[in-house]
Amino acid sequence: MIPANSVPRQSGTRFKSIFSYYGGKSRIAHLYPAPVYGTIVEPFCGAAAYSALHYDRQVHLYDADPVTASIWQFLLSPNALDHCRFFIPDSVQPGMCISDFFTDYPDAPPGLIRLMQAEANAGTQGARGVHDQITKFGAGGWPRFLPKMEYWIPRIQHWTFTHVPDYTLIPNRPATWFIDPPYNNPAGARYRTQISDYNALAGWCLSRLGQVIVCENEGADWLPFTVLAPRRGVFSSYQKSQIREAVWVK
């Protein structure tokens, strides 16, 4: 049974993330340099936490992962919020399966199903092994899901998303480039999409027009990275080892 949530809700809460994503930057996005251009480009956008912090800019998102692409294509579609209000239940229980909510709705947007699976398995979307079953952690945070969609969807309708099979196909333009690729370490290897040549990626980053912000972990050497906010002890939140976040800025 799918409860129909037809009454708009108002909330004064500011939600940092748009949807749950493996390696997402929602907790540390404010530590990166602010954009100096009116346009932000995210080539490996994931859940686009940096752009969410500056959502009123012109934002152009790109990603090679087809699952991530389906989520963004849904979120930026005209009827996204109506679909969310209809399909997203107020609460769920651990062990329930997202696909069961759509048994009677074979034409439901695939991106909505992927979005709900992302929230059901908080922190795994973008990585290998995202599941259909709702975890205990996902169920605990579920009541915030619909209010979060009601907060974000109206605010990002001016954004664009393009599904690209290769980052080199993204047009170069003067902008603030926030480049957050899969990291060149075991944590980065868990992503569904991978980088085959980090030296080539370094050259591509250097060639971008405008402000360029590149993310990595401490120890990466394909660009001259420095530790992000070392006094604050900013560590990676998606791997067990205490490896600090790093950044290179042009």
**Whole-angstrom Cα distance, residue 1 to residue 16?**
30
pLDDT in tens, 94-133: 999 999 999 999 999 999 999 999 999 887 787 787 789 9
The number of CA neighbours under 13 Å toward the Cβ of 7 is: 5
E strands present in the chain: 39-42, 58-63, 160-163, 175-179, 210-217, 226-227, 245-249
Q: Is residue 7 part of a domain?
A: no
pLDDT band of residue 211 (cuts 50, 70, 90) is very high
Q: How far is CA 36 from the centre of its chain?
A: 22
- Structural domain range at position 178: 29-249
Q: Is residue 18 part of a domain?
A: no
Q: Is residue 188 part of a domain?
A: yes
pLDDT in tens, 16-40: 899 998 888 988 999 999 999 999 9
* Cβ pair 5, 147 in contact under 8 A: no
Name the DSSP class of 153.
G
* Residue 70, pLDDT score: 97
**Whole-angstrom Cα distance, residue 140 to residue 238?**
19
Query: Which of 99-108, 186-195, 202-211 shows the lowest mean pLDDT across its residues?
Result: 186-195
pLDDT band of residue 10 (cuts 50, 70, 90) is very low
Which residue has better confidence, 169 or 241?
A: 169
**Whole-angstrom Cα distance, residue 77 to residue 35?**
26
* Residue 191, pLDDT score: 84
3-state DSSP percent of the chain in helix, strand and coil, to 5: 30, 15, 50
The domain that contains 65 carries what CATH number? 3.40.50
The pTM of the whole model exceeds 0.75: yes
Collapsing DSSP to helix, strand or coil, 103 comes out as coil
* Residue 91, pLDDT score: 93
Q: Is residue 175 part of a domain?
A: yes
Of 18, 171, 128, 34, give the one whose Cα is nearest residue 84: 18
182 pLDDT above the threshold of 80:
yes
pLDDT band of residue 3 (cuts 50, 70, 90) is very low
Q: Is residue 116 part of a domain?
A: yes
pLDDT band of residue 230 (cuts 50, 70, 90) is low
* Residue 127, pLDDT score: 78
pLDDT in tens, 139-173: 999 999 999 999 999 999 999 999 999 999 999 99
Q: Is residue 45 part of a domain?
A: yes
Largest CA distance in the chain: 54
Q: Is residue 5 part of a domain?
A: no
* Cβ pair 26, 55 in contact under 8 A: no
Domain count, the chain: 1
Q: Is residue 8 part of a domain?
A: no
Strand pairing report for 245-249 and 226-227: antiparallel
